[in-house]
Amino acid sequence: MFWILCAAIGLVAGTLGGLLGVGGGVVMVPAFMALLGMPARHAIGTSMGVILFTAISAAIRHHQLGNLEPRVVVPVALLSIVGAYLGATLTTRVPERTLRMLFAAFLALTAVDMFQKAWRMPDASPVVEPERRP
């Protein structure tokens, strides 16, 4: 059953990560805690290990589709490395309950912001076929 749960989490997180650009962490962290009983620190660390592979495969596909902005990747990636190391270090100083509350608050605020922005958008435009690259 453990492997089935892991496979399901991976499939859902990978699909949503590739579709929505969330990296899968917003799916994996709560799923690891709820379905696998992981403490927040372990769920966050495990999610970061998985996201490496998810991000690489999604980035390759988005590059093929012409959806990747190369001039943004390097500067953001470099500072993200520093931030990720700092954030991982901070998890050792933050109590479990606080980590869970911070994660929940982050998700809630992000959801409210995205919903408000989507609500103000004009009517949906038709889907445009992506450019095909050889």
Considering the domain boundaries, does residue 55 fall inside one? yes
Count other C-beta atoms under 10 Å from residue 40's C-beta.
22
Considering the domain boundaries, does residue 133 fall inside one? no
From the number of C-beta atoms within 10 Å of its C-beta (0-12, 13-18, 19+), residue 83 rates as exposed
Per-chain mean pLDDT for the chain: 86
| Angstrom distance (rounded) from CA 77 to CA 90 | 20
Instruction: Give the pLDDT of residue 2.
Output: 92
Q: What sign does the CA torsion over 15, 114, 84, 82 have? A: positive
Considering the domain boundaries, does residue 127 fall inside one? no
What 3-state DSSP class applies to 9? helix
Instruction: Give the pLDDT of residue 131.
Output: 66
Considering the domain boundaries, does residue 17 fall inside one? yes
Tens digit of each residue's pLDDT (9 = 90 or more) over 41-57 = 999 999 988 888 878 88
Q: How confident is the model at residue 64 (pLDDT cuts 50, 70, 90)?
A: very high
Q: How many domains does the chain have?
A: 1
What pTM was computed for the model?
A: 0.72
Considering the domain boundaries, does residue 31 fall inside one? yes
Considering the domain boundaries, does residue 61 fall inside one? yes
Residue 24 or residue 59, greater confidence? 59
Considering the domain boundaries, does residue 131 fall inside one? no
Considering the domain boundaries, does residue 124 fall inside one? no
Taking a C-beta distance cutoff of 8 angstroms, is the pair 23, 48 a contact?
no
Q: Is residue 124 pLDDT above 80, yes or no?
A: no
Rounded to an integer, the average pLDDT of 86-95 is: 91
DSSP 95: -
| Angstrom distance (rounded) from CA 12 to CA 58 | 14
